[in-house]
Homo-oligomer: A and B are copies of this chain.
Amino acid sequence: MLPDHLLLFRDQPQEILIGGSVQLIDVMGDDQAIVNAARVSYGTGTKRVSEDRHLIRYLMRHQHTTPFEMCELVLRVRVPMDTWRQWVRHRTASINEYSTRYSEAIDARLTTDPTAWRLQAKDNKQGSDGFVSEYPEGQLLSEEEARFQDQAVHLYQERLKFGVAREQARKDLPLSTFTEAYWKCDLKNLLGFLKLRMDEHAQYEIRQYANAIAEILKVWVPWTWEAFEDYTQRAVTFSRLELEALFQVLDASSTQKALEVSGLKGRELAEFRKKLTTQ
């Protein structure tokens, strides 16, 4: 059952895009459950591991990810099929999706505002960059979209009227058609989902959903979220070649200064020193 401070996410589902939503159904565990599970591994030796928030940061930093699997989240989401096609590629999750074989397709589609048509990015074959002018292009595109979606509804309804089976009548539904699903994911895999889908290279639509889920995590598992930001989302990985170049411009004194200004202490400072001096 949902703890009180999360009820808002159930009772007032977050609205996403035009017509989509993210509603919290249930959670299992929290920051404390992660700590409890991790301490099973450490047994009696655990006394020297300092307090709980620190332990979560340690686990995240060293990618000891199994304790994060102890938490689960269940959402009810309403998503255009186009976005859902990306979503379901995350295989380590449980799904119960609305069946358009069993029931009539949901009568709602994602529409696009005249100001919201994105231009193909020049330097990124799979991205977008900037917007189509609102007048007259954007206006025209939105009008064509509305007309086409009306025809799609008409076609689907006509087929049903002729007695065509729902499983076949749906064959030409546009990808903009909304679907609904229960989606359950453990926290470890959820963080993997968010890393990928909150990234600036993720498509705009799924990013809105990822951002909404992140809002839940900030309240549900605040220590985990903070550690995720520090050690994963806002961390940067340098390749072997990049490191070699960095080491050529970092002399002993600048390395020493970096250690000092970092404000890090204890084991984390030692780890930083090692990163800066191992070549």
Contacts and interface: CB of A to CB of B under 8 A. Distances in A.
A127 B40 contact: no
B125 A48 contact: yes
A174 B151 CA distance: 12
Contact of A248 (B164, B243, B261): B261
Contacts of A239: 61, 230-231, 234-235
A186 B229 CA distance: 29
Contacts of A80: 171
B236 A235 contact: no
A259 interface: yes
Interface residues of A, number: 124
Interface stretch (A5-13, A26-34, A216-224): A26-34
A38 to B, nearest CB: 7
Contacts of A120: 160, 163-166
22 contacts: A26-B33, A40-B98, A40-B181, A41-B99, A44-B104, A45-B125, A70-B74, A82-B170, A99-B126, A109-B172, A110-B171, A168-B204, A172-B174, A173-B175, A231-B239, A234-B243, A235-B240, A236-B237, A236-B275, A241-B263, A248-B257, A250-B250
Interface string A140-180: 11001100110110010011101111111011111110001
A244 B28 CA distance: 35
B241 A264 contact: yes
Contacts of A246: 258
Given A26-B29, A70-B184, A231-B239, 15 more contacts: A42-B99, A43-B102, A45-B125, A66-B94, A88-B89, A91-B91, A112-B171, A140-B162, A152-B172, A171-B174, A235-B237, A235-B238, A244-B262, A248-B258, A250-B250
